[in-house]
């Protein structure tokens, strides 16, 4: 695996290093030793998957309030997504900055998202599946989010949104 800095404090793009042969390929997607060597969380007691049938579906931007903040390791298993993170940590040097990354079944890249970040994605293809390793158990009372189109962040999404939940559409604007 290769760990590439994202430009946001504590967030990493984790790229697989596949060994190819006539059968296809084999690659590690997680190694406690390598994650620990980068100072990253290695315990993920909750694993989740999302499925989106339509291209341009938007999910996010989600996070959990403390003390239930989550580290996430996100990977696209089928199709492709534009995965976006926003640093919401007021004491961070990258506070309110965002970055986007294409994650796909083809490139195998994963995004390591620290606590205190909002996370969401837009599907770039039909029939998308996204896998999450999550460092904490989900706590419904701590669920929160920010608007995908909040001008405070100015996130650039690649497609016009085709599908979004009412909940995600109605997160409050920051500073409003």
CB 1 within 8 A of CB 14: yes
Longest dimension (CA), the chain: 57
Q: How far apart are CA 124 and CA 128, in angstroms?
A: 8
SS3 10: coil
Chain center to CA of 106:
17
Q: How far apart are CA 33 and CA 37, in angstroms?
A: 6
CB 49 within 8 A of CB 131: yes
Which candidate in 47, 68, 119, 132 is catalytic?
132
Which candidate in 20, 38, 47, 62 is catalytic?
62
Active site residue 112: no
- Residue where the block lists tokens 């946001």: 8
Active site residue 62: yes
Q: Tell me the catalytic residues.
A: 62, 132
């Amino acid at each position: 695996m290769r760990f590439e800095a994202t430009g946001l404090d504590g967030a990493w793009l984790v790229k697989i290093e596949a060994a190819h042969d006539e059968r296809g390929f084999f690659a590690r997607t997680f190694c406690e030793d390598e994650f620990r060597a980068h100072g990253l969380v290695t315990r993920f007691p909750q694993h989740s998957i999302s499925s989106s049938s339509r291209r341009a579906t938007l999910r996010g931007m989600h996070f959990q309030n403390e003390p239930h903040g989550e580290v996430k390791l996100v990977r696209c298993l089928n199709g492709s997504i534009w995965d976006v993170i926003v640093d919401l940590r007021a004491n961070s040097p990258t506070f309110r900055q965002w970055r986007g990354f294409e994650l796909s079944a083809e490139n195998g890249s994963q995004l390591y998202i620290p606590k205190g970040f909002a996370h969401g994605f837009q599907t770039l293809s039909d029939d998308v599946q996204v896998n999450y390793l999550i460092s904490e158990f989900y706590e419904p009372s701590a669920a929160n989010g920010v608007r995908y189109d909040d001008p405070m962040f100015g996130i650039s999404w690649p497609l016009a949104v085709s599908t979004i939940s009412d909940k995600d559409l109605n997160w409050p604007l920051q500073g409003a």
